[in-house]
Structure 1
Amino acid sequence: MLPHIPFEIWRAVALFIPEQVLATLYTVNKVFLAVCRERRYTVVNVDAYKSAKPLLNYIKASPLVHTVHVRPWLVRAKDFRPPSALKLLYSCISPQDDETVEAQIVRRVRKQTRRLCDSIRHLPNVHTYHIDWDEGPVQAEFISALLDAVLPSIGPNLHTLVLKIPFRHMLSLPSLAQYLPQLQTLSLTIHTGSHNAFEISERMEGVIVFLNCLLRHLSSLALFTTPTSTFLDLGVLFAHLGHGRRLKSFALCIPFDGGHLPEPHSLRRFLAQHSQTLDTLKLETTRAAVRPNLAATSNYLWIRDSLRNRSTFASLTHVSLALRPLRTDLTPLFTFLSGLRLLQQLRLSERPLEFIEIVRLLEALENAAALRALSMRVRWLSPELVDALAATLPQITVLHLDFPEVIHSEPSSSVTSTLSNESRGTNRANELALFCAAFQGVVYRDWQLSQIAVPENQSTREPIPWLDDLERVFVECVPGLTRFEELLSPI
């Protein structure tokens, strides 16, 4: 007889089984049935009433549900379609006037929101609640119900709240803060659309009060803005945000042109205020903001100006920065990184680094003895780049590199973005062969690298796959390498 295996072990094993395969194993025994149910209903996604009805019936007061993700939809009038032969007769007997249609929509909104909100309110173990509005038309009553009718019930148990809601509902947020005593992680997306500056400042007061009420116990705060927020200015928000004594993680994602942060000194003050407690900092970007006038040139440097801080970030271990707003002068970045003694993970995205910039970056990281993971986009992959990484950062274990080309040697010209004629005289296949040949007999014995991810060749002009060749090179050169993966999403 087989020994009894604890349920926790089966649960851990199920994490390595694809969901499609696991769904076929629920009939094996009661243990697998419980594992399948837990895996399937831990996260509940609701994005349409018709598909959600059977799910809501099944999960009534279920303790398995830990995360609820709602994408609000526009409730429409019921589309009744009589048989084609009776269409004309039906239209004469039962005309659909506007008032009738509007009354029907009101009834359907009440029915669907009541059914959805009642189901969520009675889930006892929900720790994460996510409202993800797609910026499309939706009834105001729908959003109000998801906030006012649900949060008072599940709020006391919530640890994570993710909100993207229409701007007109921001004024109702302060009254809901009292129902979130244990909230640790808040992600808020601000979308103002075409609202004018006066309307934005009026409703932004609600956001400020809401955030200040929660900052007392938040450990993670993430703020996002949408590029279609025409007149949004976050300077007022950061100028009035208080001090979060427990805040350890902060993320900000706005359009790269800095249109939503014309004066970054308020953000700089906010970061300085939390410099001793933050261990994670992410400053990232989206596409340029939609504005009636072009953003000032100085606005593009909002990340650079935010990092020019006299305060030392003594506890930072995880940093993710978008390089596009830094333009070509990376000196503030290198100065900032040189002071991070406890840095463990670094991600630099959105702009490829030239080799000379990488050399300066590695010099800035010389004191980051705890650095274990590095992700960045480079102009191209070369033997010199690999040598520099292995020599300067032998302690890193995870490396993600994004590049469009592989070359056999760095061009002699310094920071230009074009290869010399000698190096471009050969095609990509020869460049790849010469790159591989440069590593014959090379072994980086002191490099602790165990995982590396690189992209496949995306060139349509010369679609030469290079993953297999690069894998062979790195496996032979790095003794401790255990995982070689394809980088599926750009850095």
Structure 2
Amino acid sequence: MVQNLPIEIWLYIAEFIPPRDFVKLVSANRVFFNMIMNELYGDLSFISADPRIFVEKLKTLQTPSLASRVRKLTVWPAAIREAIRVLEPVEPLRPVTPSARRKIKGKQPSKFESVTKLPILQDFLRKSPTSPKKCAPPKPTLPKPETRLEMFLAALRTLDNVEELEINWSIDKGHKDYIWKFPFFNDIWQSVGPTLRRLSIEVKLSKMQDVIRSIGALPNVEELELTLRKEAGDANVEDSVVPDFVNKMKASLCSLTIKTIGHQELTFFTLLEEFPHLKTLALSMPLDSHHLPSVDGFRKFIINHPTIRTLELRYTPCCRESSTDGFHTPGDDKHILYSNLSLPALQNLKLGLRLPIPRSGRSSFLRSIASLNTTLVSLTLVDRSLSLDEVKTVIPYFARHSLRKLSLFAKNLSPQLIDVLAKTCPVLGSLSLDVQNVIKSETVGSSSPPPKDSDVVGFVQALFGYAVDLDNDRWRYKTWSLTDISVMRWAFGVGHGYDYECMKAIAYVVPTVRSFSGKGDMTERGTRPSKPGTTGKLIVDIGEKSKPLDQ
């Protein structure tokens, strides 16, 4: 009777069961069996140039029930090429290491070695039966390269439920005179194109056309990540290649990430069309006057997408180091690229601060970015560990009554840093700090170097002494609305992890804190952060091969 429950009820029940317990409930309903199998065979990767691993995966995919469970496909074209065209590999001899050679040279003769050289014993040893040497069974012969190619193309045609595709063709050790003689992207796009929701491509710009030449319609792609590389000597590519590809997904695209590596002229913004559902935009590239020839094209792209809720802007240096992006106009103190732009739906901003922060405290760049939206909820500052002076310069541009979440890297965690943040962001609810050092005290504008060793005890005592006066019941931060605090730092012999002593000290002087590191409580479990997007749990424990097709 229990098994006759609707599938929706079983799925609802599964939400309250730890994933490791699914294997115990396989007999209760098939939904748990399917969840386990989907987890095991959901990820398929062709990233190894080993032909035996390659062929083994292809044989596994000949089972239709397993191929239909694949949801994520990772492809390294260079590895696939080598796995297909390589001939039968020869087992290499194990080299003799210097340490082994020293052991051989310095080996002392056994005390029985001279005895066994006696003629009578040698004659006995020759007549004694010896057990035959055990030989390892021969490895199966690999199919011919032509057969491997046919097996691979046949396997691609069985992948009809793939929702995620990652292509990495940034590194290719193949000879320059070797031509890519068996393009397979046509089969990939035909198989996974209709069901694809997330697409990630990291490729040399010169090979981009090879990847997308045979691409068809991608009606359901919601998330696109592009990493475009270019090295000195690479062939030039038409300006329309990248924007024409991105424009194919304009009807469904919600998230767009573009990262460039190497010197490239950022001309594609002019040719990008409108994406009516775009909510997330992440740009990591040298957005300066040297690489961005068309300011109007970039500004038009931003203006055409008022639906953006999450924006990431990270300036990456390219062919030359500079103290400015070249867009500041001294006369009217405006920023040519960002001035007078508005994103009314913007809630979350992630900003790279690789360019130097002016000592004067006046920055047309920061002022223009902060003016994109006056009701910003979340701010994340990356690419620079901020000094106390820099924190006092940057944060006031964004400190408004709407800011609820702040994350930044700081050189030093000190009572003065906490005080600056408390005064500048009075309604902040969540604060995440990644610090290099913990110190007892620092002074604004001081040029003296901080202590090399962290002084956690000194920080705790100084913070308590400054913020709390028990005799007079004075709590300096009792009106601060902070509810969650996270402090991370590197520690010798420990690595990168949470500093609970510092978090406890801050929680003691800020009465409203109720959570550490976004966990909802102030326990010390999980001292190391889990990988983003993972739960840290495996549905079933099968040793190191937790995902047989993902290796």
Shorter chain as denominator, the TM-score bin is 0.7 to 0.9
Instruction: Provide Cα deviations, 1:11-39, integer angstroms capped at 9, x if missing partner.
Output: 4246x64xxx5697576755543332232
Matched, 1:182 2:214: no
Partner Cα distance (1:67, 1:466) in 2: 32
Q: Report the structure number with the largest CA radius of gyration.
A: 2
Matched, 1:39 2:39: yes
Match of 1:233 among 260, 265, 273: 265
Change in 2 beyond 3 A, CA 1:305/1:233: farther
Partner Cα distance (1:60, 1:388) in 2: 59
Partner Cα distance (2:15, 2:70) in 1: 18
Q: 1:261 — aligned with what?
A: 291
Change in 2 beyond 3 A, CA 1:114/1:107: same
Matched, 1:165 2:203: yes
Q: 2:346 — aligned with what?
A: 316
* Paired-residue identity, %: 20
Partner Cα distance (1:83, 1:401) in 2: 50
Q: 2:281 — aligned with what?
A: 250
Match of 1:274 among 280, 304, 323: 304
Answer whether contact 1:373 1:399 (CA < 8 A) is retained. yes
Matched, 1:372 2:404: yes
Matched, 1:152 2:179: no
Q: 2:458 — aligned with what?
A: 431
Change in 2 beyond 3 A, CA 1:80/1:279: closer
Answer whether contact 1:67 1:126 (CA < 8 A) is retained. yes
Partner letter of residue 47 of structure 1? I
Partner letter of residue 66 of structure 1? R
Match of 2:388 among 331, 334, 355: 355
Answer whether contact 2:23 2:33 (CA < 8 A) is retained. no
Matched, 1:6 2:9: yes
Partner letter of residue 381 of structure 2? L
Q: What is the number of equivalent residue pairs in this alignment?
A: 445
Q: 1:69 — aligned with what?
A: 74
Partner Cα distance (1:261, 1:372) in 2: 35
Other structure's SS at 1:130 match: strand
RMSD (Å), alpha carbons: 4.2
1:376, CA displacement in angstroms?
0.7
Partner Cα distance (1:164, 1:143) in 2: 20
Other structure's SS at 2:346 match: coil
Partner Cα distance (2:294, 2:492) in 1: 39
Instruction: Provide Cα deviations, 1:301-356, integer angstroms capped at 9, x if missing partner.
Output: 79x96753322121111211110135436442144214523322211101122334
Change in 2 beyond 3 A, CA 1:160/1:206: same
Partner Cα distance (1:365, 1:434) in 2: 31
Matched, 1:209 2:244: yes
Partner Cα distance (1:300, 1:129) in 2: 38
Matched, 1:456 2:495: no
Change in 2 beyond 3 A, CA 1:482/1:143: farther
Other structure's SS at 1:35 match: helix
1:481, CA displacement in angstroms?
1.9
Change in 2 beyond 3 A, CA 1:475/1:284: same
Change in 2 beyond 3 A, CA 1:325/1:366: closer
The structure carrying a bigger helix percent of its residues is 1
Bigger mean CA deviation after superposition, 480-489 or 336-345: 480-489
* Pairs within 5 Å for 1:40-59: 40-48=40-48, 49-50=54-55, 52-53=57-58, 55-57=60-62
Partner Cα distance (1:58, 1:335) in 2: 57
1:253, CA displacement in angstroms?
1.6
* Pairs within 5 Å for 1:409-424: 409-411=441-443, 413-414=444-445, 416=446, 418=448
Answer whether contact 1:127 1:159 (CA < 8 A) is retained. yes
1:232, CA displacement in angstroms?
2.2
Structure 1 unaligned residues grouped into runs of 5+ = 85-103
Answer whether contact 2:440 2:456 (CA < 8 A) is retained. no
Larger relative CO (CA 8 A, sep 6+): 1 or 2? 2
Q: 1:123 — aligned with what?
A: 159
Answer whether contact 1:401 1:454 (CA < 8 A) is retained. yes
Instruction: Provide Cα deviations, 1:422-453, integer angstroms capped at 9, x if missing partner.
Output: xx699735533433533555474544444332
Bigger mean CA deviation after superposition, 339-348 or 447-456: 447-456
Change in 2 beyond 3 A, CA 1:216/1:454: same
Partner Cα distance (1:448, 1:116) in 2: 58
Change in 2 beyond 3 A, CA 1:435/1:350: farther
Match of 1:133 among 150, 155, 169: 169
Partner Cα distance (1:160, 1:12) in 2: 24
1:65, CA displacement in angstroms?
2.8
Partner Cα distance (2:166, 2:454) in 1: 50
Partner Cα distance (2:385, 2:294) in 1: 25
Change in 2 beyond 3 A, CA 1:58/1:453: farther
Change in 2 beyond 3 A, CA 1:357/1:180: same
1:123, CA displacement in angstroms?
2.9
Partner Cα distance (2:439, 2:282) in 1: 36
TM-score by length of 2: 0.67
Bigger mean CA deviation after superposition, 397-406 or 304-313: 304-313
Partner Cα distance (1:143, 1:183) in 2: 26
Partner Cα distance (1:359, 1:473) in 2: 22
Structure 2 unaligned residues grouped into runs of 5+ = 49-53, 94-140, 329-333, 518-525, 531-551
Instruction: Provide Cα deviations, 1:236-267, integer angstroms capped at 9, x if missing partner.
Output: 222332333332222112369x6982547256
Matched, 1:344 2:382: no
Q: 1:473 — aligned with what?
A: 505
Partner Cα distance (2:390, 2:62) in 1: 58
Instruction: Provide Cα deviations, 1:55-97, integer angstroms capped at 9, x if missing partner.
Output: 534565644332222233133523354999xxxxxxxxxxxxx
Partner Cα distance (2:22, 2:60) in 1: 16
Q: 2:535 — aligned with what?
A: none
Partner letter of residue 340 of structure 2? R
